[in-house]
Each structure stands twice: as C-alpha cells, then as structure tokens.
Amino acid sequence: MAVIPIDDPLDPRVAAFRDIRERDLTGRQGLFVAEGEVVLRVLASPASLCRPVAALIAEKRILGLADVIEALPPETPVWSASQSVLDGVAGFHLHRGILALGEKPAPRPLSEQLAGASEDAVVVAACGIGNHDNMGGIFRAAAAFGAAAVLLDDRCCDPFYRKAIRVSVGAVLRTPMATGLTGADLIDGLKAAGFRVLAMTPSSPAPLHLAARGGRTAIVLGAEGPGLPTHLLERCETVGIPMSGGFDSLNVGTAGAIALHHFTRKA
C-alpha cells in the first residue's frame, strides 16, 4: 500500500483529523477518530465491526506499522507526516503519532441484536453512563470476559468518543451493541428475548457470588453515585458485591468486570 506524505497541516485531504479535541465535542456524522497503535490494529483486524476510512501516521512510525497498514482495505488512504505537522493537524502534541478515521457500524434494533445470542449468552446493559473512562472500561471488561453485546440506553455517552475507544483498548470497535432505547424499554426487550435481568446495586440483599449462573443473563449497570433509578431496579432482580471497610460501591467498570467474571466462568 502506498503511503502518501503530507507536509502542510492545512492540507484539505486531512481535514477530518484537524483540531480533534474540539470536534470530539461536536460529533462527526457517523465517523469517529481512533488513536494509538493498539486501537488501529483492532480497527484493521477482521474482528472489527467498523470500516476503516483513513489513517494519519507520524513518519517515524510507518516502518513499524507496515503489517497493519497492509491489513487495511486497499481503498483506505494512509497519510504520513512529521511530528510537527501531525501536531499542527491535531491541535496538540500527539505523542502516540497515530490517528485513524473509522465509520460506525449501522445501528441494529435490540431484538435483532439479541436474536442470535446463545442460550448461555451474557450481555451488559448500561443505563445513564456519562463518563467516557467508565464507558471504555465497561467495553474492555465485556470483551475480556466474552460478553455477547453491550447495550446502552438513551442517557449514555457516545462509546465512539476518542477517549472511550482508547480506554477500551479498541473493544468498542469489535463489540456488538445496541443504543437509543430508554432503560425501561431495554430491560423489557431483554426479558422478551428470554434474558434473566440482574441489576447491580450496593443495596441488594442478594450477594453476587451466590447468584446462579447459566442461561441468558443481562447485567444492568448504572452511573457511579446515583446508581440505577428505582423504577429500573423494580423491573429487575438485584445483586450486589459485599464490601468491607465502610465502602459501599466500586467503580462501575470494576463492578461490571466482577459480575462478568462470575457469570461467564465455566467452573
């Protein structure tokens, strides 16, 4: 694959990468920016559910990324630039030296997303997660423990925000998801698809480690601090993680990872 040199930060061919911090806040109409080698490798891999659109890479990184550049679809332009030009395009010092532009997968209805789930599928349903670090952590845990999907209600932040993708180490790009439903409709849809729906809350009298495993299971996570609202908790069974030392909650990504480990382990 030919790599195209760029020597002007204002080159119109790389306009989509310009001032990415500001554009993170305004959206990219179905596209996203990914940053770093690990994430680029996921985007270029067969596991990715997203289409690579373009890449902009520091010239000093090109040789070491020859294999991943070759793995990109042949129609994907790859531009290279000096560090100073790259920084001028991005609007800040981009020490990783790697940016890529990708296209989000087409949205799928919840029923369609769940139709192919196995009889032992475990999914995560996130309600009201507004922190991009937590969002990335949830997707990372979901990928690590083999969750069949991550389902996001209409109050969640965008998982394709650059920082969320980076924290997830690319898991956002390869994890099936459904978005846009209210929390109540999400829970009702899970029940209609035969899922046992378990809400994580510190107030639950049912300890997680005693929860039965097997069958279709959905783990419902709420935002740190307020947690899940009462009207959602009332639609679910509840489970909690017993703690000591006066603590009553964990980071939502950590709590989700512990629950995923419990429900996905084979022994």
Range of 73's domain? 3-103
The DSSP code for 60 is G
Q: Same structural domain for residues 221 and 256?
A: yes
In which region does residue 96 sit, left (phi positive, over 0), alpha (psi from -120 to 50) or beta (all else)? alpha
Q: Same structural domain for residues 99 and 120?
A: no
- Which of 47, 80, 103 terminates a domain? The answer is 103
Q: One digit per residue, pLDDT tens: the chain, 267 residues? A: 689 999 999 999 999 898 887 666 555 678 999 999 999 999 999 999 999 999 999 999 999 999 999 999 999 999 999 999 999 999 888 888 999 999 999 988 999 999 989 999 999 999 999 999 999 999 999 999 999 999 999 999 999 999 999 999 999 999 999 999 999 999 999 999 999 999 999 889 999 999 999 999 999 999 987 889 999 999 999 999 998 877 767 899 999 999 999 999 886
Q: Considering all CA atoms of the chain, what is the largest pairwise distance in Å, rounded to the nearest integer?
A: 62
Q: Same structural domain for residues 97 and 120?
A: no
- Residue 218 β-bridge partners: 123, 197
CATH number, position 149:
3.40.1280.10
- Which of 82, 103, 124 terminates a domain? The answer is 103
